[in-house]
Amino acid sequence: MARPPVKQRRSWWEKFSAAFRGLWYGIVGQSSFAVHFAVAITVILVAALFRVRETEWCILILSITVVMSAELFNSALEWLAPAITQEYDRYIETALNVASAAVLVASIGSAVIGLIIFGPRLVALLACLLA
């Protein structure tokens, strides 16, 4: 069995540069990531307005990170699939569907967390506005 080629060592600058390029491709190259990015900014602004507690900040930031990471992994597979084959392949289709499901599960979980954290505050705000 042939050994894989030895990768050249990269500096930390090169590693971070590549990571930020990947983030940029995620933001501008995938409409789903752009939507998640916009929702993340909105959640952060609403959390600041509601002055959520430190623990809630941690949970919200973790939720945002999980969704965005899942979306980036999904995007990576979507970029990779056509490089493997231009032909229809049911295994690739299944892999892409599973990656999409991971984003869906992370998004639903994060939405539930958002409802738990923001729900009571939104109800109280609505009650004050209607009173």
Catalytic residues: 71
Show Cβ contacts of residue 43 under 8 Å, excluding neighbours closer than 6 positions.
60, 64, 114
Q: How far apart are CA 92 and CA 84, in angstroms?
A: 9
**Residues annotated within a binding site:** 71, 78, 100
- Read off the amino acid at residue 99: A
Binding-site residue ranges for ATP:
78
List CB contacts of 105: < 8 A, sequence separation 6 or more.
Answer: 70
Beta carbons within 10 angstroms of residue 5's beta carbon: 6
Annotation: binding site for substrate? 71, 100
Q: What are the binding residues for a divalent metal cation? A: 78
